[in-house]
C-alpha cells in the first residue's frame, strides 16, 4: 500500500502552489492521477522506465498496450517523434490543445515501455488547464493512461479514481468532473491521410474540414468487427481489449425499423415508442431478477406507461441524457456504467444511440462494452 496524497484543486482557480507537490512527485518518478477534459489520467514521467512500470502495476495493465504521452506545449512533441508530418502539423494547429491524440514515428528518446515496442508513439496536448500546468511544472513529458484499474470504465470523476487506485498511486488530484467524458480520438498521422484508430471528441467530420478525407481503421467498422485477421492487425493495440465495460452483461437492443443504429430521431414519437417497446420486449424474455435499462431521456419518458402494460421483471432505468444532446450523453456514459456496477443488476439492455458528432465515439464505446452483442425483440 502506498500513502496516496489526495487533494481537491479547483480546476478554474488553482495556483502553482496547489500543483507543485504533485509535479515534484511526477519529476521524482511517482504516479499521479489528474483530471483532463476527456477522462482522468494516471501520469508518470514518460522518460523514466521505473515510473512507467509503476503505472502498469497500479492499473494491472497488460504491458503490450502502449501509453499516450502528454505534453504541455505543441513544440514539446518534437523531441518525442522522428518527424512532425505535414498532416500532423495541420491537426496540431487546429485541434491542440484538445481531445486529439496523434500517432507519429517515435524518436529514440521514447522508452519501449511507452510504445510497447511499436515504432510509433501517441502524443496529446490536453486542453484542461490544470493538466497542462501540472505537466509544465513537472518539466517532463507525462505518460498517462486512463486512471482506472484495467478492465474497468475510464474514470470521469475523482471518486472513480479513488475507488480504483487509492493506495496504489502516489497522488490523486480531485479537479471535478471531466467535460468530454470519453477518451481522446486517436489518429494515425504518419502518412498523408489521417486514419482514426479510436473515435473520440474530435470527430471525423472535424478533421476532414482541415485535412481532407479521413479513413477509419477497418477494425473499427462494423464489417471488420471481431475479424482482426480479416481486417489486418489492430494498429491501436488497445482495440483488442474489452474496455469500458460495466460488470453486468450489456446487450444492445436491435430495433426493427431499420435494423441500423441511428434510428433514434430526437423528435419522432413513433420511433421513441418503438425503442421503448423493443427494450421491454427484450426484458420480458430475460431470466435476470432485476434488469438494467440504459437509454435516452426521451425513451425513459415513455417507458413507465408501457411497462405497466407489458409487465417486464423489475427494472433499474438509467438515462444518459437527451438524444438531441450527444455531448451530454457522452459525458454520462462511464458514470452510468459505474452506477450499474454499484447496483444488483446482472444484465443491462442498452438503446443504440444516434451517431452524430461525438455520438460515433459513444456508440463505439457502447458496442465495445456489449462485446458487439445485439439482440432482436
Q: What cell numbers appear for 310 in the block?
A: 407489458
Q: With CB under 6 A as the contact rule, which of the stretches 157-165, 213-221, 231-239, 268-276 interacts with ligand TXA?
A: 231-239
Q: Does 245 bind ligand TXA (CB under 6 A)?
A: no
List of residues contacting Mg ion (CB under 5 A): 146
Of all residues in the shown chain, the one whose CB is closest to ligand TXA is 238
Q: How far is the CB of 203 from Mg ion (least distance, A)?
A: 20
Using the rule CB under 6 A, which residue among 54, 236, 296, 299 binds ligand TXA?
236
Does position 36 interact with ligand TXA (CB under 6 A)? The reply is yes
Position 186 contacts ligand TXA (CB under 6 A): yes
User: According to CB under 6 A, which one of 121, 127, 211, 369 is a site residue for ligand TXA?
Assistant: 121
> What residue is closest to Mg ion based on CB?
146
Candidates 11, 30, 66, 171; binder of ligand TXA (CB under 6 A) is 66
Q: How far is the CB of 137 from ligand TXA (least distance, A)?
A: 17
CA dist 35 → 77, 184, 250, 341 (Å)? 21, 13, 27, 22
> Of residues 51, 84, 111, 124, which one binds ligand TXA by CB under 6 A?
124
The answer to whether residue 38 forms part of the interface with ligand TXA (CB under 6 A) is yes
- Which residues in this chain contact ligand TXA in the complex, by CB under 6 A? 36, 38-39, 41, 65-68, 99, 101, 103, 115, 118, 120-122, 124, 126, 144-146, 183-184, 186, 197-198, 235-238
Amino acid at each position: 500500500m502506498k500513502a496516496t496524497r489526495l487533494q481537491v484543486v479547483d480546476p478554474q482557480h488553482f495556483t502553482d502552489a496547489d500543483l507543485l507537490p504533485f509535479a515534484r512527485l511526477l519529476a521524482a518518478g511517482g504516479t499521479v492521477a489528474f483530471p483532463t477534459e476527456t477522462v482522468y489520467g494516471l501520469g508518470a514521467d514518460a522518460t523514466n522506465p521505473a515510473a512507467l512500470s509503476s503505472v502498469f502495476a497500479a492499473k494491472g495493465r497488460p504491458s503490450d498496450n502502449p501509453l499516450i504521452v502528454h505534453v504541455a506545449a505543441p513544440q514539446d512533441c518534437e523531441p518525442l517523434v522522428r518527424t512532425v508530418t505535414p498532416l500532423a502539423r495541420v491537426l496540431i494547429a487546429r485541434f491542440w490543445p484538445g481531445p486529439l491524440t496523434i500517432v507519429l514515428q517515435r524518436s529514440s528518446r521514447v522508452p519501449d515501455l511507452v510504445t510497447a515496442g511499436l515504432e510509433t508513439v501517441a502524443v496529446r496536448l490536453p486542453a484542461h488547464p490544470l493538466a497542462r500546468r501540472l505537466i509544465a511544472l513537472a518539466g517532463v513529458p507525462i505518460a498517462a493512461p486512463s486512471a482506472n484499474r484495467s478492465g474497468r470504465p475510464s474514470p470521469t470523476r475523482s471518486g472513480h479514481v479513488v475507488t480504483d487506485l487509492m493506495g496504489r498511486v502516489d497522488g490523486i488530484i480531485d479537479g471535478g468532473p471531466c467535460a468530454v467524458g470519453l477518451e481522446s480520438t486517436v489518429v494515425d498521422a504518419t502518412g498523408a491521410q489521417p486514419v482514426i484508430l479510436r473515435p473520440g471528441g474530435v470527430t471525423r467530420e472535424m478533421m476532414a474540414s482541415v485535412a481532407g478525407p479521413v479513413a477509419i481503421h477497418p477494425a473499427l467498422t462494423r464489417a471488420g468487427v471481431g475479424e482482426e485477421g480479416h481486417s489486418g492487425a489492430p494498429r491501436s493495440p488497445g482495440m483488442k481489449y474489452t474496455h469500458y465495460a460495466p460488470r453486468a452483461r450489456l446487450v444492445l437492443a436491435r430495433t426493427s425499423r431499420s435494423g441500423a443504429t441511428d434510428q433514434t430521431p430526437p423528435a419522432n414519437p413513433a420511433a421513441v415508442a418503438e425503442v421503448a417497446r423493443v427494450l421491454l420486449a427484450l426484458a420480458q424474455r430475460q431470466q435476470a431478477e432485476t434488469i438494467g435499462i440504459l437509454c435516452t431521456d426521451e425513451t425513459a419518458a415513455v417507458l413507465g406507461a408501457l411497462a405497466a402494460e407489458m409487465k417486464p421483471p423489475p427494472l433499474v432505468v438509467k438515462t444518459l441524457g437527451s438524444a438531441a444532446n450527444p455531448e451530454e450523453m457522452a459525458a454520462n456514459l462511464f458514470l452510468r456504467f459505474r452506477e450499474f456496477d454499484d447496483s444488483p443488476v446482472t444484465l443491462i439492455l442498452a438503446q443504440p444511440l444516434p451517431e452524430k458528432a461525438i455520438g460515433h465515439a459513444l456508440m463505439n464505446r457502447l458496442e465495445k462494452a456489449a462485446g458487439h452483442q445485439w439482440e432482436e425483440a
